[in-house]
Chains A and B, each alone.
Chain A
Amino acid sequence: MTNSFVGFLNSIFVHLFLLAILTLDFSIFVPQKDRINTIPVEFVTFPTEKENNSKKIENIKNESIEKNIQKKVLIEELKVDKKKQLNFDSKRKLEDQIAETKLLKERREVQITIALIQDRINSIWKKPSLGNKNIQSEFVINLAPSGEILSFDLISSSGDKVFDESALAALSSISFITEVNGLDRKYFERNFRSFNLVFKSKN
């Protein structure tokens, strides 16, 4: 061996050593977890926003799911309420129907009695012929449950003495309105104890 050969070998080693130092990634000696991954500049985003968004979306999703659940609960609650209400309604309905039937019955009885009274009074009222006048006399009649006429009074005159007197004459000629005799006592008290009679010259 020559000196120059050793020297040559030395310079190769030194050059290789320098090359290694300059080119080798010594990061491979850095533990994995401490390495820093570098990313090309173009693809840089803000990882925090994206995360936030997805979080938001998640939140919203969660919210709506919750809401749906709430809704369902409400609906169910309402259904229950309605059922309760319906029960209450149909009860009320039934009560109304009963009341209505009672009223209708009373109404019918009263209407029949009215018609009978009208027939009776019409048959005894000698209505005067007045040409063409359109007038009326109004009386208040007070009855006893037996139908006895306790009193009658002119409360609104027609303005025509003859007409008023013809009505008075009709009322004077009867002492009992027997038509109320068959009536339920309650109906009588409510309707016929005291009522008004209107004599009209025209229909």
Chain B
Amino acid sequence: MKYFLLFFIFLSLTIEAKLKIEISQGSKDLPKIAVVPFKSNLNEGESISSLIQDNLTLFGEFKALPKEEMLSFPSSEKNFFNRDWKILNVDYVVLGSLQENNSELIRIEYFVFNISLNKLILRGDISGKYSEKEEISKVISNRVYKSITGLNGVFNTKIAYILNPSKERYKICVSDIDGSDEQVLFESEAPLMSPSWSSDLKKLAYVSFEKGFPEIYMQDLFSGDREPIKTLGLSNSAPVWSPDNKKLAFVMSLSGNPDIYIYNLRNKKISRHTTHYGIDTEPAWSPNSKKLLFTSNRSGSPQIYELTISSNRIKRVTLDGDYNARASYFPDGKDIVLVHGNNGVFHIGTKKLKSRFINTISKTTLDESPTISPNGNIIIYATKNNTQGYLAGLTLDGKSKFKLPVKLGSVREPAWSPFMN
């Protein structure tokens, strides 16, 4: 009897209270963006706008309106009409103009409009050398991206990776994030592994087997000078630069026991941070340089652990899955990306440090070496197709997937550079 009453009351309360409807999915459609060919007296306007368009659509986050479908070609707010774009269901319009000042310098003025809200959301200008138009376009793309998404753009960042064109040929390469402008930093007949950027973007650390055993080298990107880290162990690998640029975490194997060590770049002292007889490897720094994630099989299978450097206290991070490895922090320090394996299938996953749940985000099955964009929105990782390794990527919200341009040979171990500042 009384339950009836309660139910009745409850029912009436829920009906009588104000309705709150939740919207959380959003459209499956990508936002549509129109990059109008920039007006110019040089005929170069279109090359600038197509560079910008290529950048913005690089990670599959936007759908671009083809030039042929545009109803008008405004170059400033003066000849811009919202309705021309609203009827095409466009969400954002980028337009502008290009002026040549003298034979070398160009000045670009650009505008971004939000069509649904019918308002200008960005205007700016930039000057530079004509020969640097690609760099200039990247800067404009970053600013446009930020005005639309609120996130910092990554169009002028770089990616380092290992290229294995044939057996016994290995190269460390750095290219633009779209795969262009590839430069070979070092080439060897012996394997190369684990590239890692210094936070000031001046150096790259990596593992080389050129002497017959794994050794860590630090190479200056501008001078090309390289030197090995002198340690005691016969096996040194997995170098990672700290975000504060003062230290290098790495793995050394003394007497057959791989453990996590830290190399102080200033005084060249080495400190040991794990001692377990199992495998401890793959360190990754937290954004504040105070903690390390690492992989350890001390519990019987590879799992992720977190080490607080000052106290050497270790906490286990992953509980589910029979293989969890190669974890690294997101820029906010609260979430991690990792390789998550179950029954021989390996995906890329993300996990909040505070929650147990591991969210699988990749659909390919031999995934490894995830690297996060410095704005925390995109993940690039290595995977395999038949016998060739290639790099694939996806946005965190899962809406966009992409592949990096195919190379001659197997590509692996991508490392996204920090922001250029």
Contacts and interface: CB of A to CB of B under 8 A. Distances in A.
Bind each other:
yes
Nearest to A200: B24
B149 A162 contact: yes
B376 interface: yes
Contact of A192 (B15, B19, B27, B396): B19
Given A123-B27, A165-B114, A117 B21 contact: yes
B24 A203 contact: yes
Contact of A129 (B8, B25, B395): B395
A131 B375 contact: yes
Interface in A125-169: 125-132, 160-163, 165, 167-169
B27 A122 contact: yes
B21 A129 contact: no
B269 interface: no
B397 interface: yes
Interface string A96-111: 1001100110110010
A183 interface: no
Given A132-B335, A172-B117, A198 B149 contact: no
A118 B27 contact: no
A163 B334 CA distance: 21
5 interchain residue pairs of minimum CB distance: A127-B26, A169-B116, A162-B150, A195-B19, A131-B376
Contacts of A126: 26-27, 29-31, 91
B12 A200 contact: no
Interface in A168-203: 168-170, 172-173, 190-192, 194-203
Given A103-B11, A129-B395, A170-B116, A122 B21 contact: no
Interface magnitude class on chain B: 35 or more
A99 B8 contact: yes
Q: Is the interface of B mostly helix, strand, loop or mixed?
A: loop
B4 interface: yes
B29 to A, nearest CB: 7
In which size bucket is the chain A interface? 35 or more
Contact of A131 (B19, B27, B330): B330
B256 to A, nearest CB: 39
Given A129-B396, A132-B335, A169-B116, A100 B8 contact: yes
Given A127-B25, A198-B23, 19 more contacts: A107-B14, A114-B21, A122-B24, A122-B26, A127-B26, A128-B149, A129-B61, A129-B151, A130-B377, A132-B330, A161-B150, A162-B150, A163-B150, A165-B114, A173-B116, A195-B18, A196-B19, A197-B21, A197-B23
Nearest to A169: B116
B16 interface: yes
A197 B1 CA distance: 36
A163 B24 CA distance: 12
22 contacts: A93-B4, A96-B4, A107-B14, A110-B19, A122-B24, A123-B29, A125-B23, A125-B26, A126-B29, A126-B30, A126-B31, A127-B27, A131-B151, A132-B330, A165-B117, A192-B19, A195-B18, A195-B19, A196-B19, A196-B20, A197-B20, A197-B23
B377 A196 contact: no
B419 to A, nearest CB: 14
Given A100-B11, A103-B12, A195-B18, A125 B396 contact: no
Contacts of B377: 129-131
A143 to B, nearest CB: 11
B279 to A, nearest CB: 30
